[in-house]
Structure 1
Amino acid sequence: MLRLLLLAVLCCSAPALIRVPLRRERSMRSRLRAAGLLHDFLRDGSPDTFGRRYAPCLPPGTPLQLGRSGERLHNFMDAQYYGEISLGTPQQNFSVVFDTGSADLWVPSSYCVSEACGTLSMHRRFKAFESTSFRHDGRMFGIHYGSGHLLGVMARETLQVGGLAVLNQEFGESVYEPGAAFLMAKFDGVLGMAYPPLAEILGNPVFDNMMAQKAVEEPVFSFYLSRYRITSSTDPESELLLGGTDEALYHGPITWLPVTAKGYWQIKMDSVAVQGVSSFCPRGCQAIVDTGTSLIAGPTNDILSLQQLIGATPTNIGEYLIDCVRVSSLPHVTFVLGGTEFTLTAQSYVRKVLLGDKQLCFSGFQAVDILSPEGPLWILGDLFLTEFYSVFDRGVNRVANTWGANTRGANTC
């Protein structure tokens, strides 16, 4: 009866623009570095080490492909922007990464046996037995991220996002999250917003169900990511807008690009140029707009050259340090999309981190080799999205970028 009532309300309600506030937290990488644990985490979290340690613990027939980490783009160790959703009746709240680089929804289960789900982790767990709208599925799922693995069982529930109800939403209840990746994470789960072919869990991703249930005004969602914590009532907050765009959060013309492969939000990038020095992929290359990755990533050879051009030097754990004194004199890096230049100053692509009373500066560029039929892929993560407002259009399968409200007056020359 309750489900019929919810369906009636949904069918009779007009589609709406739904605002989902996003909050910025210190990344897992920053917290691990501050605690002196980053080196051990990176060593123990490598796919080979992780597979040897935990694969024997998995039951036979587990749907987990331990060799796929090189193909997955998730870099939740650097994720900083989280939002709230709820599942079940009555509602149970969870903090999730709204990730355009994946297509699954999962949260920890009350039956999770890993330390990441324990009382010390502070992660909220879904209690199926307390929900009157819960539907058990029974199938298992497994997801291998670049910085962690998880196993679970599938189910269906009523999902609430920003007050919008999505009925009968497929999702995963995580029951096994080995290793330290999810233990250190501030978020409870992940809500994927990529295309259905990217899903590990069978069924429609969340935004597909929103479109099918006509719950949004347009088959469009957009992200505005603020650079820093909100310091005054006049600062625009980070947000995900479901069903359209907000003209108050961007300025200048919008550059639309067609999606070139319906999995990730993949587009063609004209080139990448370092001010007055060099350029990469001059004949064009493929890029992915990914809110689940904080950094900007590209093919190893290109990124190593780029690091040298901006004066970054490697550490023993694969990060690149920059002399903080030199930041103001470093060259701009420009990404050309659809003939429009999107320029990052050093103040944008250098990450400043306090370690005790000392400030360190790290390059925001990372080497990741991902091949596709169209060639090597670049990843435009949150480092790019904090400067530029991004729009994702499922109606005509295209992505747009323009200058965000927090870059008003910048990068326009």
Structure 2
Amino acid sequence: MMYRIFFSIFFLLFALNFVHCKPPVCNITSSEYEGLNFIEHNATMRIQIVRQKSPFEQQLNSPLHEFGLIRDWYEKPKPSNRTNDTVRLYRFLNNEFYGKIIVGHPGQALNVAFDTTWIYTWLLSSQCSALEEIGCYFHNKYNHHASSEWKPDGRKFSVVTDGVNLTGFYSYDNISITHSSVTNFNFIEMTAVPKSFIFNKADGVLGLGWGTGSGYKTFFAALLEQKKIKNPIFSVYINRNHQSNAAGDITLGFADGRHIKVDYVDGKYVCDKIIYLKTDPLPYWQFQMDKVLLVKNPKNTKAYCQTKFPDGTVGCKAVIDTSSNMIIGPAKEITDLHNEMGATKLIFGRYSVECDKINQLPPIEFIIGGKNFTLKGPNYITRFSYRSLTICVSAFQAAENDQEETRWILGGAFLSEVYTIYDYHNHVIGLVRAA
């Protein structure tokens, strides 16, 4: 008997010790950056799972059970206005990230890329003929004739650059994402897209660029204006599981401390510190990166991104791309980087490595704001398999036009290790190691 009591006490103490050792959820507070005083841990959205009481428990616990009345059965929760939201992201071939939206009334479901490098929201139109435009094949399309809320705009839209042809016209309709919706929103119905769009899972793009000064009201700006979102911030989390269809999430109106890396240092848990960067006055989120290092060993490193700017600083410009997994850089530097890791050139500017050597590939460090963000082989190499064929492809890709040559574009391979927070009003971006 004493043995059982002793064992029970030991087990209880062990279990309690295990609970106390669980890493904490990081609290994102105003003390870290004055401009983000509205990012508070208690403002984040949580979904609590509650076990429903049995009829017998309700009878016992209800103060009205003696009168045969069960309060829990007829009292309904009071509705409250939602001031934040979470959009689930999905992964397609580990090369594209997209989410789901509902357009018009009755609602039409489409897949869109939530893209921080774009300010415009555009959707494939039912007027995009698959007979004339190959890129329109195998996609959902928006039919404005089927929506009672559609309104014409009358303006045309056209972008023709570097062989890319995007042509369409502006329209107004309602767009909903999970629990939040924007009414009478101005977007583009696209009637012509590049042929390569046939390989995309997304049916369009929802632009999350800054947009100020462009004359176009972005979707996030419309959410704020219509008071569907209270705090002017959003954040992006991409998970590391390349095999899962679930890619991560975008939180609108808050940042989630659960996505921040926690280290165990000197007997206590320490949340990784967020760095905040002022971004350039452009429609998209561009900032300065210190350098990129390929580390073969502590004594053998090679530096990239080393442009000297007029103010005397050295580095390069970079933008975050939340729609794609690729990391794009100047062609000469990307080619050299692949040569250093022993990669082999494929078609479409992609490179491959031997699959059994992924864990032996050198770490690649991105130094931003003096902080080191490190990618290892499994972060920047994706394994594709089809029947007996397996190929391992690098996420790094050389720039294809002059604009891309002037900066690095950091996509999902980078974001798998970095949680990003976007301050829409102050045009500030926060970066922290992802959990």
Please tell me whether residue 378 in structure 1 is matched to residue 402 in structure 2.
no
Residues 147-206 of structure 1: CA deviation (Å, up to 9, x unaligned): 8533211111111122212122111112233x532223222111111122696xx63111
Residues 261 and 267 in structure 1, CA contact (< 8 A), matched pair in contact too: no
Question: 1:266 is matched by which residue type in structure 2?
Answer: Q
Aligned ranges 1:383-402 → 2 under 5 Å: 383-402=413-432
Residues 271-298 of structure 1: CA deviation (Å, up to 9, x unaligned): 1111132112342111011113321111
Question: 2:227 is matched by which residue type in structure 1?
Answer: K
Residues 192 and 206 in structure 1, CA contact (< 8 A), matched pair in contact too: yes
Give the Cα–Cα distance (whole angstroms) in 1 for the partners of residues 406 and 110 of structure 2. 35
Q: Please identify, of 248-257 and 377-386, the stretch whose mean Cα deviation from structure 2 is larger.
A: 248-257
Question: 1:88 is matched by which residue type in structure 2?
Answer: G
Task: Name the residue aligned to 1:256.
Answer: 276
Give the Cα–Cα distance (whole angstroms) in 1 for the partners of residues 145 and 122 of structure 2. 17
Residues 105 and 191 in structure 1, CA contact (< 8 A), matched pair in contact too: yes
Give the Cα–Cα distance (whole angstroms) in 1 for the partners of residues 213 and 142 of structure 2. 24
The alpha carbon displacement at 1:266 in A equals: 0.3
Question: 2:260 is matched by which residue type in structure 1?
Answer: Y
Residues 196-238 of structure 1: CA deviation (Å, up to 9, x unaligned): 2696xx631111111222321211111111233686xxx9861
Give the Cα–Cα distance (whole angstroms) in 2 for the partners of residues 370 and 236 of structure 1. 32
Question: 1:205 is matched by which residue type in structure 2?
Answer: T
Q: Pick from 186, 198, 209: which aligns with 1:183?
A: 198
Please tell me whether residue 20 in structure 1 is matched to residue 102 in structure 2.
no
Residues 117 and 123 in structure 1, CA contact (< 8 A), matched pair in contact too: no
Q: Please identify, of 344-353 and 221-230, the stretch whose mean Cα deviation from structure 2 is larger.
A: 221-230
Residues 104-163 of structure 1: CA deviation (Å, up to 9, x unaligned): 111122222234889x94422222222222111111112347785332111111111222
Q: Pick from 382, 402, 411: which aligns with 1:351?
A: 382
Number of aligned residue pairs: 336
Identity of aligned residues (%): 29
Please tell me whether residue 267 in structure 1 is matched to residue 267 in structure 2.
no
Task: Name the residue aligned to 1:241.
Answer: 251
Q: Pick from 172, 183, 189: which aligns with 2:188?
A: 172
Residues 369 and 377 in structure 1, CA contact (< 8 A), matched pair in contact too: no
Question: 1:16 is matched by which residue type in structure 2?
Answer: T
Residues 277 and 429 in structure 2, CA contact (< 8 A), matched pair in contact too: yes
Change (3 A) 1:159 1:205: same
Q: CA RMSD in A?
A: 2.8
Question: 2:360 is matched by which residue type in structure 1?
Answer: S
Change (3 A) 1:285 1:184: closer
Give the Cα–Cα distance (whole angstroms) in 1 for the partners of residues 157 and 260 of structure 2. 39
Give the Cα–Cα distance (whole angstroms) in 2 for the partners of residues 115 and 345 of structure 1. 44
Residues 224-263 of structure 1: CA deviation (Å, up to 9, x unaligned): 11233686xxx98611111111111222221211112322
The alpha carbon displacement at 1:304 in A equals: 1.6
Structure showing greater Rg: 2
Q: Pick from 116, 128, 131: which aligns with 1:100?
A: 116
Q: Pick from 307, 312, 316: which aligns with 1:285?
A: 316
Task: Name the residue aligned to 2:151.
Answer: 135
Residues 295-321 of structure 1: CA deviation (Å, up to 9, x unaligned): 111112211221122111223543212
Residues 101 and 193 in structure 1, CA contact (< 8 A), matched pair in contact too: yes
Give the Cα–Cα distance (whole angstroms) in 2 for the partners of residues 221 and 197 of structure 1. 16
Task: Name the residue aligned to 2:59.
Answer: none
Change (3 A) 1:146 1:318: same
Give the Cα–Cα distance (whole angstroms) in 2 for the partners of residues 110 and 323 of structure 1. 43
Give the Cα–Cα distance (whole angstroms) in 2 for the partners of residues 197 and 114 of structure 1. 35
- TM-score in terms of structure 1 length: 0.74
Residues 115 and 183 in structure 1, CA contact (< 8 A), matched pair in contact too: no
Runs of 5+ consecutive residues of structure 2 not aligned to the other structure: 1-78, 262-271, 307-313
Task: Name the residue aligned to 2:102.
Answer: 86
